[in-house]
Structure 1
């Protein structure tokens, strides 16, 4: 809900000015009292093009101060002046932002959305597709891993308006969707609580039923579905919504190949919330115990998260010998800050391959497992973004072979420190990352090098369409099957398709409690979520 622009006019204290009218001595007429109103002083900030006061001048000056926070009484205008100065101080491309008068746009979010570069990449995609905001309370709940209503399923709206195509991408074992009789990967949703999910929703009431049934906001409510399975058969599914916690690792498996090798598989969905550290630590311990010869890391739906966790993943894949004294990711800020992090105020130092727990959910100093692999298979789509891409780039920087199976990644070598102001957490690109070799130019993403060349950084591998067929972790699932074939003989499946046009995520996201306090908490997360319990790409909409 938009807030009306409100200026606070602060005036001095009222005073009485006394004037005496003198007559002759002994006059009994009292002196006249003349009351002059104090001058009205408008202390609202004044816009001067090209002149920026320090962002601290306006920080936490809020139209609606929150109790128990640093908020002070202020105005929407001051919130916009803070956004303007903060952008000028920390935005990576600050000198490409049009300096707009905060008075010219009433809403603070509308104003924030204008504070970005309009430049495009060589493919024609916007350089900055990663500029967004989220309510601070929701953001903090997500980062801390709080449960929220849902099914523990990820949905993909291939078409959100009629004829709709709503698919189940995967389910979590800790949610009702993953239980017997629940959803299966690839299910197409046909009916939700009696409403045709494909062509229905002609009224707002029907759309509300579709949205609440698919993305429930309340736990403990039963919803009824008819779905079309990948086997071509329709079936009815009844699921009761529950409070579900996001599960960073949903599936692991160990596959024995025909040539007596062991291939490990990990489906890793996010580098946040903080529980992601423990989840990937445990999964890598399983791979280490099995003494795997190869690893398939499924990042096709992983929109990113904490760079520190990505650096831990790089270490666990490559091991101590290959990562010793090497840089996982070196951050560069804008040209106003060549040697100092403008957010933390600390001297710039490269991010190493972290070899121990960092205290998110694995105790500090606990040694991480080491697989000591010379190569890794990464499953990717356009949903593979940010910290996921940092793993690809970081490992390539130390000559660990990365083999990409799937499609082109999103293209985000950038990151930010999510910053709260007056109840809204803002994400604006503040740094660019590069690997040990100094490479970070993948704004059009990484893509497999088979088939027709496209924009982006080519990596050895196979282009495979994601059609939501087969259970994740099953050797016959097309992405994993392609990785196993390539591991055995270096070839791609005959059904490899021509590279599709690059698809960029457009999204809003989540992550971190206090990204200002610790450089390890820098995040490049760009994950599209509706709620932790039910993750999606869009909401259902009516006719277009």
Structure 2
């Protein structure tokens, strides 16, 4: 049971087109007040913390210990809103913002901010410590990143790395990071790295068992133009010694759209890795092909899709279900008890989005209007991808899962920027049209039929099948795709399905031998939208 992470380690129509299930608009949907730039060298006195007393967050926003100067290249070179402040201002903004918007704000301990050496260290503990019924952390999605990194990834899918999508089997000894896929024309592709290759060493350090996690983490999460020496082992046992130099790489979120014949039925297949704006045209092309070929069945390969923009998930739902989904609820957000008046629903979306202008167009998306869809899943299937599963089930489209249990993220956020850092803190939970959202431990392919089921559960009809790294994605011999084709033909699952080693569920930043998983918050999340802006 692996988890997937990308190779670099997704407030109104602009805000609407963003929430992770995000960014958009001139400031890409970041919650940040447009306070005038005032880079005075004399900051005001640091604010004082009083236990359980929370002043409004806007009293502290944009007061920065290290204010930026000049213009923002991602916002038409408008002046940065930063003003001279202190680290305590930044911590107090995080504290009040969390108390105002965090879904489980009443489960956050109010620790003295002065006890923490840095702003980000303080942010890391501004979260619930409760657990899911299966014993996992309830909030596994608390992240931060630089403003520049956010902008590159959120709009264009650009991240710094080698072009490798990792399947993370274990972060602790014996560690196992296996290549899930490789971006074309990337450093990894040019070095001959392929799906199924496993890391055995980085910069001369044994990856599987060494306690030198600093060296390993430096190689896994490089800055731009950093060379690192890797040793990989192929599926056949071949050793590959390569030096990879990191670079900014634009991801290819939609791949391998094809139509094939299986038992006199036309089956469409497409691999879809991320709900970002650059994916829209690829999905349009794929579903135009499927509609032209009049497919009978559809296989969506979302085993490595960690999420992104909810509005794009609503678009995908329409492309699958067609007119039967129009004017029906795709997902409803539920907020904390301070914000219940803001709760909204998102409908299935049939329109193409003009992303450069953050506006809907009159152009309609192609749709195959199917009553059933097969979705290939692993623990890397999360957030907005899970919204698709849940949203379609909410309008009685039959969903059949092939693979492993999904990640379990019925939550999302609107990225919030302050002083050059973008913070991701859970702000809403999701439910479908039937009011179901109880899948914090993931959707599980159950092998059972949903016929006659009273109410929905997290068990979804389908087959538990191990991810198959010995075959290319999209191959009819690859285990998950082959199982889907068998189920389409016979309604049965493979006789035997053995899982890969279970993913390590401990905290990823834990000391004592755990490496840090390379990831991107905007990718591994669901970005929310608000429907009242749909006509702007």
TM-score strictly above 0.5: yes
What is the rounded CA distance, in whole Å, between the counterparts of 1:98 and 1:120 in structure 2?
15
Q: CA deviation at 1:449?
A: 0.9
What is the rounded CA distance, in whole Å, between the counterparts of 1:78 and 1:498 in structure 2?
48
Q: CA deviation at 1:402?
A: 0.5
Q: Does 1:50 align with 2:56?
A: no
Q: Which moved more, 1:394-403 or 1:119-128?
A: 119-128
Question: Quick check: 1:61–1:73 contact (8 Å CA) kept in 2?
Answer: yes
**What TM-score comes out, normalization by structure 1 length?**
0.77
- The residue matched to 1:388 in structure 2 has which SS? helix
Against the structure 1 CA distance between its residues 252 and 231, is the aligned structure 2 distance closer, same or farther, given a 3 Å change threshold?
farther
What is the rounded CA distance, in whole Å, between the counterparts of 2:151 and 2:355 in structure 1?
14
Question: Quick check: 1:307–1:521 contact (8 Å CA) kept in 2?
Answer: no
Q: What is the 5 A alignment of 1:227-306? A: 227-234=232-239, 243-257=248-262, 259-272=263-276, 274-306=277-309
2:363 to 352, 363, 366: 366
Q: CA deviation at 1:203?
A: 7.0
Against the structure 1 CA distance between its residues 50 and 290, is the aligned structure 2 distance closer, same or farther, given a 3 Å change threshold?
same
Q: Which moved more, 1:462-471 or 1:297-306?
A: 462-471
Q: What is the 5 A alignment of 1:342-353? A: 348-353=343-348
What is the rounded CA distance, in whole Å, between the counterparts of 1:510 and 1:411 in structure 2?
15
Q: Deviations over 1:248-290 (max 9, x none)?
A: 1132222211x21111111111113x21222322222222222
1:356 to 338, 351, 354: 351
Q: CA deviation at 1:65?
A: 0.7
Q: Does 1:389 align with 2:386?
A: yes
- The residue matched to 1:169 in structure 2 has which SS? strand
- The residue matched to 1:127 in structure 2 has which SS? coil
Against the structure 1 CA distance between its residues 261 and 150, is the aligned structure 2 distance closer, same or farther, given a 3 Å change threshold?
same
Question: Quick check: 2:108–2:126 contact (8 Å CA) kept in 1?
Answer: yes
**What TM-score comes out, normalization by structure 2 length?**
0.78
What is the rounded CA distance, in whole Å, between the counterparts of 1:521 and 1:241 in structure 2?
42
Q: Which moved more, 1:260-269 or 1:311-320?
A: 260-269
What is the rounded CA distance, in whole Å, between the counterparts of 2:315 and 2:236 in structure 1?
39
Question: Quick check: 1:306–1:521 contact (8 Å CA) kept in 2?
Answer: no
Question: Quick check: 1:254–1:265 contact (8 Å CA) kept in 2?
Answer: yes
Against the structure 1 CA distance between its residues 109 and 219, is the aligned structure 2 distance closer, same or farther, given a 3 Å change threshold?
closer
Against the structure 1 CA distance between its residues 188 and 328, is the aligned structure 2 distance closer, same or farther, given a 3 Å change threshold?
same
What is the rounded CA distance, in whole Å, between the counterparts of 1:105 and 1:242 in structure 2?
33
Question: Quick check: 2:169–2:502 contact (8 Å CA) kept in 1?
Answer: no
Structure 2: runs of 5 or more not aligned: 1-39, 70-78, 449-456, 509-516
Larger radius of gyration: 1
- The residue matched to 1:315 in structure 2 has which SS? helix
- What is the aligned partner in structure 2 of residue 413 from structure 1? 410
Q: Deviations over 1:111-159 (max 9, x none)?
A: 1122212222211222111111111111111112264554422133534
Against the structure 1 CA distance between its residues 198 and 163, is the aligned structure 2 distance closer, same or farther, given a 3 Å change threshold?
farther
What is the rounded CA distance, in whole Å, between the counterparts of 2:480 and 2:432 in structure 1?
27
Against the structure 1 CA distance between its residues 196 and 518, is the aligned structure 2 distance closer, same or farther, given a 3 Å change threshold?
closer
Question: Quick check: 1:147–1:246 contact (8 Å CA) kept in 2?
Answer: yes
Against the structure 1 CA distance between its residues 172 and 76, is the aligned structure 2 distance closer, same or farther, given a 3 Å change threshold?
same
Q: Which moved more, 1:358-367 or 1:384-393?
A: 358-367
Q: How many residues end up aligned between the 2 structures?
A: 463
- What is the aligned partner in structure 2 of residue 526 from structure 1? none
- What is the aligned partner in structure 2 of residue 440 from structure 1? 437
